[in-house]
Structure 1
Amino acid sequence: MVDLDLRRLRFLREFEERGTLAAVATALGYSPSTVSQQLALLERDAGTPLLEKAGRGVRLNDAGRLLAQHARVLLTAAEAAEADLAALGGDIRGTVRAGALQSAARRLLVPAVARMQAEHPRVRPEISELELEQALPFLRLGTVDLVIGDEYDGHPRPRPAGMRFTVLLEEPLQVVLPAAHPLARPGGPVAIAMLRSDVWAASAEGTGHHAMVVGTCRVLGGYEPDLRHRSSDADVQLELVRAAGAVALLPSLTLPSADPAIAVRDLAEATLQRRLVAVTRDTPPSPALTAFLTAVTDQVPLVLSARP
């Protein structure tokens, strides 16, 4: 009879996802030698080799790929069992690991942490600033429990199997200009086409915001933006507008309530929206995660009422 350790199966599942011992070690906080040792012990438990040489590294063989498929099922079932047992006991405790982009972390996750400390002190929230592209692999593997990401009109996110997506809020995108910009003075909507000669700031390449800015300039303006500045921190983008004369296209939650150094204008050609989306695994949530999600969703109307 094969006796398989769930902890070692997680190492195998991580290796299937990440592809190298070093990447698994970084993700789980172990040394590469520890990862290698755990996989060797799993091979002993399974009674068959699971890895084979591939250049200077290793990769899964047929048996390893087969066991990794079963590991996904077993780990999901174990997680569901833990959630059911916690719910049966009625005790709200445990760790909730949540990630979000900057504006959602600041406006939704941080207040939720404060509420949990007051109402459920036995829950341990752990918050990380993560873009959805970075966070989804962690969510699939169970090292993150909740991710708040964004998506934009015309740039929908993929919906991978095994994930649950819940829209938290929608908000408009607005043009942000230096106060001295010629188009800032009239105070009316600004056409993207009129910003052809400006220098742009956006999030890092590969993010949804970057793709949205480039796509909006192409579709509404008919040009490739001069996108010289890249930061996934909205405050950095705003400072580039203030100090360096850049222009940006940002959702309202990232904007200050009043700032004489910048001008915020609606788009003239269209109304574009950003949606903040909560993503969890499509398995029964633990009571701790349910309580944390309630704290996050209860914060949404407060955020909407306070936005500029």
Structure 2
Amino acid sequence: MLDVNRLRMLVELSRRGTLSAVADALSYSKATVSQQLAALEREVGVPLLRRVGRGVQLTPQGDVLVAEAVGVLDRLEHARVAVAESLAEVTGTVRVAVFQTAAHALLPPALLALQAQHPSLRVDVTECDPETGLVGVAGRDFDLMLAEQYPGHSRPITPDLDRVMLAHDAIALALPPGVPREVDPLAALRSTSDEPWVLEPQGTASRAWAEQLCRSAGFEPDVHFEVADLTTHIRLIRAGLAVGLLPGLVWAGDAPTLDLVPLPGAPRREIFSAARRVSAASPAIRAVRRALADAASPAGSVPAGSLGKPPEVP
């Protein structure tokens, strides 16, 4: 009988591309992963990997085994869900990956509600960017990801992940308090063309969207500060050192401390959760999604009007 842990290593190698990445994801040494995959080859009786330069690639037989192994792993996960559904109490652990502003605004009220409603349920939270987190959900590093996507910049669709929309979060131009501003949104945006900007780092979805927004208004933003932490954005703007773009969630229910100007077209980013389809029916994941939906509602911790009403979570 083939070893399930070795099968998972092979599947992760097909997804992540290198032995080092598999070792990091599964908390093993690279040598251990190599030894276990060699043992799997002996179990199967045919080569599953071939050396290419300093790396490895799957053989055609390795690809066949990966396809079968994915089905095996999904079936085992489905069995765990079936057992959980038979219990009267929601229990177990849900590993949640979350981006920064969702961690600030949505997690505290959601976790407090879960503590009261399902005391036997544990929620482990890791902050990471959506790109990493969504790969991690597919690879079983996490059970649920809170992610965002910007207008016209949809994230890639992964067939084995579902999506549940939580909210639409308004994005505004943020100016230092007391700075004269244009009433017209387009004129207000164009008036910042000579100002220093603070934006998130290159390679992030928010940065790509912000640059495109400015270009559509006829200028290239003069980025003085590349900072991932939006709390730092607020401090730099409040000090009069920069202008920027801020989503409604960043205030986490508090009154904004900056002058916020509507943007042309009133853009809103989408906030959604993603889980593996095979585990989405788990009572624990359903409970976490309900709590997040309640936290994202206008009655929750997010400023009224900045978010749309979340859909019903099945």
Q: TM-score, normalised by structure 2?
A: 0.88
Q: Is the 8 A contact 1:100 1:131 kept in 2?
A: yes
Q: Tell me which residue corresponds to 1:204.
A: 201
Are the aligned partners of 1:253 and 1:307 in contact in 2 as well (CA < 8 Å)? Answer: no
Following TM superposition, the consecutive aligned residue runs of length 4 or more in structure 1 with deviations greater than 3 angstroms are 186-190, 304-308
- Looking at structure 2, the residues matched to 178 and 227 of structure 1 have their Cα atoms a distance apart, in angstroms, of 16
Cα distance in structure 2, aligned partners of 1:47 and 1:91: 45
Offset at residue 96 of structure 1 (A): 0.4
Alpha-carbon separation, structure 2, partners of 1:272 and 1:116: 32
Deviations, residues 29-83 of structure 1 (Å, cap 9, x unaligned): 1111121122122222222221111212322222212211222222112111210
Contact 1:80 1:284 in 2 (8 A): yes
Question: Aligned runs of 1:19-30 on 2, under 5 Å?
Answer: 19-30=17-28
Which residue of 183, 189, 193 maps to 1:192? 189
Q: What is the 5 A alignment of 1:156-167?
A: 156-167=154-165
In structure 1, what is the Cα distance between the partners aligned to 2:2 and 2:231?
48
CA-CA distance at 1:266 after TM superposition? 1.6
- For 1:253, the equivalent position in structure 2 comes to 249
Cα contact 1:168–1:297 (8 A) shared by 2: yes
Quick one: which amino acid aligns to residue 149 of structure 2? Answer: E
Distance 1:97 1:22 in 2: 23
Name the amino acid aligned to 1:272.
Answer: P
d(CA) in 1 for partners of 2:66 and 2:225?
A: 41
Larger fraction in helix? 1
> How many pairs were matched up?
300
1:5 counterpart residue number: 3
What is the distance in 2 between the residues matched to 1:276 and 1:46? 44
- Give matches, 1:256-267, under 5 Å: 256-259=254-257, 262-267=258-263
Residue of structure 2 aligned with 1:96, choices 79, 94, 97:
94
Q: TM-score, normalised by structure 1?
A: 0.90
1:216 equivalent among 203, 210, 213: 213
- Between the aligned residues of both structures, percent identity stands at 35
State whether residues 257 and 307 of structure 1, in contact with CA within 8 Å, keep that contact through their aligned partners in structure 2: no
- 1:143 corresponds to which of 131, 141, 151: 141
Matches within 5 A, 1:274-285: 274-285=269-280
1:16 maps to amino acid: S
CA–CA distance in structure 1, aligned partners of residues 134 and 305 of structure 2:
28
For residues 258 and 157 of structure 1, what CA distance do their matches in structure 2 show? 29
* Whole-angstrom CA distance in 2 between matches of 1:30 and 1:205: 31
- 2:249–2:303 contact (8 Å) kept in structure 1: no
Matches of 1:39 and 1:122, distance apart in 2:
37
SS of the residue 1:104 aligns to? helix
**Residues 250 and 120 from structure 1, CA distance in 2 versus in 1: closer, same or farther, beyond 3 angstroms?**
same
2:229 to 226, 233, 237: 233
Structure 2 distance, partners of 1:244, 1:20, is 46
The two structures, once aligned, show a CA RMSD in angstroms of 2.1
Give the equivalent residue in structure 1 for 2:166.
168
| Structure 1: 5+ residue stretches without partners | none
**Partners of 1:178 and 1:7 in 2: how far apart?**
54
Shift of 1:174: 0.7
Q: Secondary structure at the match of 1:158?
A: coil
Shift of 1:306: 5.6
Write the distance in 1 (CA, Å) between the matches of 2:219 and 2:256.
31
Q: Secondary structure at the match of 1:148?
A: strand
Deviation at residue 204 of structure 1 after TM alignment: 2.1
